[in-house]
Each structure stands twice: as structure tokens, then as C-alpha cells.
Structure 1
Amino acid sequence: MLKEFKEFAIKGNVLDLAVGVIIGGAFGKIVTSMVNDIIMPIIGALTGGINFTYLKFVIKEAHGDVPAVTFNYGNFIQNVIDFLIVSFSIFLFIKIINRFKSEKKEEEVIEEIKLSEEVLLLQEIRDLLKSKEDSIG
């Protein structure tokens, strides 16, 4: 059982997943900072200084020690905007990575074509040499 676990833990997919989770967490912090510190202040300025996080609808007013009952739709709007920005950022990031991968694949295909041309040429030379040996011997 220990051997199986070791094989599972060392597999490339598990390590790739672990690296992806760590990078994803760091990337999430960067995007959250971008949303909170750059994009939302701009949106707030465009909407007259509205901070979505504090938007709420009061269902029942506070009375004495009893707090108000509120429907906090602003926080929901903020989270939806965060999600859309994070999703779009990840989409762009994956698109860039895929572009690099496709460029690499094109280079590999070109190398394979060159290699196959060389192999064909060597095969032709081999066949010519073989036919000369057959005609001599």
C-alpha cells in the first residue's frame, strides 16, 4: 500500500496539480488585488463613488441592542464582478500559454519533417547501395 501511494504521489499529474494549485492561489491574490485596488476604484469613480460592498436593503431597522436585518446585495455584486474578472484573467492566461504551446508544436513538426526528409534520403542511399551490392555479388 505504501508503494502504491508513493507511485501515486510521484506521478507527474499529481505534481502538476500541486504546482497548479499553488500558482493558482498566488494568481488569485494578484487578481483580487487588481480588482480591489485598481478596477473597483475606477468603477467607483465612474459611478459617483459608489462602493458596491456596502450596498444593502434594510428589511428591518435596528432597535436598541437588536441589529438591523439587511439584504446585502452589494457584496454579491462585488463577488460577481470579482468572479468575472478572475475568469477573464484566467482565460487570457490560458490563451497565452496555449499560443506558446502551439508555437512549440509547430517547431517540433518542422523538426520532424526535416528528420523524415533526412531519413528518406538515407533510405534511398541504403537502397542504392544495396542494389549495387546485389548487382556486384
Structure 2
Amino acid sequence: MLAGHAQALPLRTLPPGALPESLAACTGCGQCVDACPQDILTIRDDAVLLVPEQGECTFCNACADACPEPVFVAPRVMAHLVRIGDDCLTRAGIACMSCRDMCPEAAISMQSRIGAPFHPVLDAALCTGCGACIAPCPADAIVPIRKEPADA
């Protein structure tokens, strides 16, 4: 008998200030999606989701301002940050600094290595989860992950 391995579902990324608890108030009206100047929100399963691979959240709060329901709570921060995975081009010996160059918070620095390209290192304390590094990554090696309580 063939049996597959259970795969973790991708993290449902929420806009700043939206929490799983407050998301229950979302009616799926789409006013937040229409208000987002970055065009990085969508409605899925009758609730708002952030799509970080489409671009950076600038924390402008337009989504929260447009929402008629109590979906967005203070403080308006992300419930996720990012992780740089093993698919990073630097692991294959290819020089790339696109994530570092795009990070508005300077949360990604480059660590020098003898005989190999610089390797990105993420400072979780500086990462806002904005997603600016995700779309430009040519290897799709950067993914959002849920913040641990110590990171929050």
C-alpha cells in the first residue's frame, strides 16, 4: 500500500493587525482588498489574506481604515516573519544579495564565507514580515513563518 507523507499547509498570512481570532469578524466584503495600494490582499474562504509573494506591505493601514468590521486590531503588526530556506542560491555557490537589497528594515545582512559567496542572515528582531524580500528572491527561498511568542 502506498502512503504519502502529510505536508504542512502553507502559512495563511494575514495583514498587519489581523489575527486569527479577529478574522472571525471578516465578512469577505473585499473593501480592504480594494483599498490596498500595493495590491497584495485577497479574499479566500470568506476572509482577507495577505499575499506576500505579490509585493511588500508598507503598513499604510489603508486596509484597516477601509474595513467596516473589527478585523484589524492594535498593534498593527504582522503575526509572521520570514525564513530564508535551503534553496537560497548562495548555498549552491551563486552570489545573490537581492533579499538584503530589498529589505527596508535592514533585517537581512550578508555573512562572509571563505571561498563562497556571502550568505544571508536574518535578524528576526528586525523583521517586520513586510514581504519585501519574498518576491525578488530568484530561488523562491524565502517564506513567511509564524512568529514564536518570543519573536512577538
- TM bin, normalised by shorter chain, reads under 0.3
* Higher relative contact order (Cα pairs below 8 Å, separated by 6+ residues): 2
Higher helix share: 1
Bigger-Rg structure (1/2): 1
TM-score where L is the length of structure 2: 0.22
Higher strand share: 2
TM-score where L is the length of structure 1: 0.23
